[in-house]
Amino acid sequence: MRVGVVGTGIMGAPMARNLLRAGHTVTVHNRSPARMAPLVEAGAIAATSPRDVAARADAVVTSVPDTPDVEAVVAGPNGILEAARPGLLVVDTSTIAPGAARALAERAAGLQVDFLDAPVSGGEQGAVNATLSIMVGGGRDAFDRAAPIFAAIGKTATYMGASGQGQMTKLVNQVVGAATLAAVAEGIQLGARAGLDPAALIDAIGGGAASSWMWTNLGPRMQRRDFAPGFMVKLQQKDLRLALAAAAEVGAPLPLTAVVQRLLAAVEARGDGALGTQAIVTAIEALARG
**Phi, psi dihedral angles at 3 (to 5 degrees):** -120, 135
> Of the residues 155, 170, 234, 238, which is catalytic?
170
| CA–CA distances in Å: residue 166 to residues 2, 10, 171, 186, 229 | 24, 21, 9, 31, 24
Does the active-site annotation cover 155?
A: no
Beta carbons of 223 and 272 less than 8 angstroms apart: no
In whole angstroms, what is the distance from residue 275 CA to residue 153 CA? 25
Torsion angle in degrees (nearest 10) through CA of 86, 91, 92, 93: 180
In whole angstroms, what is the distance from residue 26 CA to residue 20 CA? 6
In whole angstroms, what is the distance from residue 90 CA to residue 3 CA? 10
Assign residue 208 a region: left if phi > 0, alpha if psi is -120 to 50, beta otherwise?
Answer: beta
Q: Which residues are catalytic?
A: 170
